[in-house]
Amino acid sequence: MEYDVKVNGLWVSTIGATLVGRTLPALPEAEENTVKLAGSDGEEDFGSTYATRPLELSFYVMGEASEYHQIINRLANIFHAKRGELELIFSDRLDRRYMAKYRGTTGYDPSSVNHQVDIPLKMYNPFPESSEEFVFEPIITKSPQIVTVKSGGDIPANPVIVLTNQGTNVIRNFRIANEYLIE
């Protein structure tokens, strides 16, 4: 299977560059949040958070010298730092959106053809976004009613529940309870 990447809606393979590699750490680097208090031994631990996540894409560009430099220029235009945040979708992970910005220096040898070009990127929000194909809006018409909230992501997250009165009547004695089933 040949891999490809879509950048802001454009598959990079359509300009003549082939995605041959991507470097994406399994997890971003963890940062410790600690404070050293005067007069106390050690440090106070306030937990860890994730740092930004580096991402590098490697493309193979081939062709005559004139074609090669045109493709390099197109790649430079696609990943231009002034474009800001880029939406990346990989052909083998169509359900994930990686939001990244160009950071660093593009590595390639301008004197040769048939060469690899490395594009360094950084994800400031270090986790990809998943598609929201499972979103649905049920209308609660009776009480009690159980509503299942599904998520297409792979990291557990609490759902956002919004209750809206669609009628003109005032609702009195309204109660929301979080009841756990104990088995």
**What are the backbone dihedrals phi and psi of residue 28, each rounded to the nearest 5 degrees, phi first?**
-70, 165
Report whether 61 contacts 83 (CB < 8 A). no
Q: Which residue has the higher pLDDT, 134 or 27?
A: 27
- The pLDDT score that the predictor gives to residue 153 is 62
Average pLDDT score over the chain: 82
Distance, CA of 86 to CA of 67 (rounded, Å):
25
40, HSE (Cβ side, Cα atoms, 13 Å):
7
What mean pLDDT do residues 129-143 have? 66
148, HSE (Cβ side, Cα atoms, 13 Å):
3
- The pLDDT score that the predictor gives to residue 169 is 80
- The pLDDT score that the predictor gives to residue 100 is 95
**Whether pLDDT at 129 is above 90:** no
Structural fold of domain 5-129: Elongation Factor Tu (Ef-tu); domain 3 (2.40.30)
pLDDT for 44-88, tens place per residue?
Answer: 999 999 999 999 999 998 777 778 888 888 999 999 988 899 999
Report in angstroms the alpha-carbon separations of 36 from 30, 32, 33, 49, 99. Answer: 19, 12, 10, 18, 35
Cβ atoms within 10 Å of 88's Cβ, excluding its own: 23
- The pLDDT score that the predictor gives to residue 21 is 92
Report whether 75 contacts 12 (CB < 8 A). yes
Kindly indicate the confidence band of residue 155, based on its pLDDT and cuts at 50, 70 and 90.
Answer: low
